[in-house]
């Protein structure tokens, strides 16, 4: 109902304005036609004793310009949507223009991605054009969390390194991007108790060779064995299947200072990587996986690990 009202409202105003313009033109023409062309018609207004305001007809070419705009408006409204919800004879609409352009763009990128799809991981990582496309896709979809340089931030992993929380194999990284990841480390402080927390913290710090209190760490070792090995492993190297980080390296997702470690034990850690399986085409997800692995690999080479 309301829709119909606004459509009719728009149509009446548009047609009304065009008719109004047409009428105005002819009405003023009528006035000036009343007199002979040579006759000087004035409005009767006089300034400074001798300056008179004239009321001459518009030149014909000028009048015709106005007529042309009226014809243009009518032709335009017949061809294109403009009158309320009337579609126009050409059937053009913003949506189908968008769809057409999108289909064209898809067709163009399909060619590019067909080339990438035919390449194996190594070749992809070495292909500059592929990595440039990857960089752009990363900028559009991932940079808001992982940073435009992919170096992450607190709670958002640095992807420009050889440390993988969930695993760095191609299929694993692709699975991370497709399905997302939900890390779940429950809060341990209640189980560890008042004194257990600082003890475990010192032990965790000792695992990666950070400065620590040896006596407290020894106490902590027993509690670690009781509460933490299930996920982080007996030696602290973690478990990619659970996304449990390696605690023995110099890489920290959240931080290694005592305050941050205590915060994790009190509140738990629930890092969430969103799933892109529905949002991005398979081609794009595959290329992104290769791009991210490429970042890690070049870091590994830089760090002299491979």
Interface residues with ligand HEC (CB under 6 A) are 141-142, 144-146, 155-157, 159, 164-166, 173, 176-177, 181, 183-185, 188, 192, 200, 204, 227-228, 230-232, 242-245, 247, 252-254, 261, 264, 269-274, 276, 288, 292
Q: Which two tokens stand for residue 111?
A: 């060619």
Q: Which two tokens stand for residue 261?
A: 């470690």
125 vs 273, beta carbon nearer ligand HEC: 273
55 vs 178, beta carbon nearer ligand HEC: 178
Q: Which two tokens stand for residue 100?
A: 């057409």
95 vs 259, beta carbon nearer ligand HEC: 259
Q: How far is the CB of 276 from ligand HEC (least distance, A)?
A: 5
**CA atoms of 72 and 76, how far apart (whole Å):** 6
What is the rounded (10 degree) CA torsion for 244, 248, 253, 254? 100
119 vs 262, beta carbon nearer ligand HEC: 262
Q: How far is the CB of 239 from ligand HEC (least distance, A)?
A: 8
Q: How far is the CB of 159 from ligand HEC (least distance, A)?
A: 6
Residue nearest to ligand HEC (CB): 271
Give which of 130, 117, 19 is closest to 11, Cα–Cα: 19
N residues, the chain: 306
Give which of 168, 163, 169, 166 is closest to 251, Cα–Cα: 163
33 vs 257, beta carbon nearer ligand HEC: 257
87 vs 155, beta carbon nearer ligand HEC: 155
Q: How far is the CB of 127 from ligand HEC (least distance, A)?
A: 18
Q: How far is the CB of 275 from ligand HEC (least distance, A)?
A: 10
- Please list, in sequence order, all residues whose beta carbon lies within 8 angstroms of the beta carbon of residue 147, skipping any fewer than 6 positions away: 153, 156
124 vs 183, beta carbon nearer ligand HEC: 183
Q: How far is the CB of 105 from ligand HEC (least distance, A)?
A: 19
- Please list, in sequence order, all residues whose beta carbon lies within 8 angstroms of the beta carbon of residue 145, skipping any fewer than 6 positions away: 156
Give which of 264, 219, 267 is closest to 245, Cα–Cα: 264
**CA atoms of 290 and 159, how far apart (whole Å):** 12
Q: How far is the CB of 75 from ligand HEC (least distance, A)?
A: 48
Read off φ and ψ for residue 149, nearest 5 degrees.
-95, 5
């Amino acid at each position: 109902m309301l829709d119909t009202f606004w459509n009719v409202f728009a149509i009446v105003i548009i047609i009304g304005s065009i008719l109004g313009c047409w009428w105005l033109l002819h009405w003023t023409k009528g006035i000036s036609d009343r007199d002979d062309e040579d006759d000087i018609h004035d409005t009767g207004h006089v300034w400074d004793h001798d300056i008179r305001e004239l009321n001459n007809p518009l030149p014909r070419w000028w009048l015709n310009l106005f007529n042309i705009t009226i014809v243009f408006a009518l032709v335009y409204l017949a061809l294109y949507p403009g009158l309320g919800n009337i579609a126009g004879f050409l059937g053009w609409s913003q949506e189908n223009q968008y769809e057409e352009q999108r289909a064209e763009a898809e067709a163009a990128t399909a060619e590019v991605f067909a080339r990438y799809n035919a390449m194996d991981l190594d070749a992809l990582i070495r292909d500059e054009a592929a990595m440039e496309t990857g960089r752009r896709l990363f900028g559009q979809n991932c940079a808001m969390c992982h940073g435009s340089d992919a170096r992450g931030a607190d709670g958002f992993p640095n992807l420009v390194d050889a440390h993988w929380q969930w695993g760095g194999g191609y299929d694993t990284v692709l699975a991370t991007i497709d399905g997302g990841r939900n890390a779940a480390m429950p809060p341990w402080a209640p189980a560890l108790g008042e004194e257990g927390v600082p003890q475990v913290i010192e032990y965790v710090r000792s695992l990666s060779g950070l400065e620590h209190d040896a006596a407290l760490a020894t106490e902590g070792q027993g509690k670690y064995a009781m509460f933490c090995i299930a996920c982080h492993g007996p030696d602290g190297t973690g478990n990619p299947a659970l996304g449990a980080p390696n605690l023995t390296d110099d890489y920290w997702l959240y931080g290694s200072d005592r305050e941050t470690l205590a915060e994790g034990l009190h509140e738990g850690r629930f890092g969430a990587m969103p799933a892109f399986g529905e949002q991005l085409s398979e081609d794009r997800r595959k290329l992104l996986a290769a791009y991210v692995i490429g970042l890690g690999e070049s870091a590994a080479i830089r760090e002299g690990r491979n």
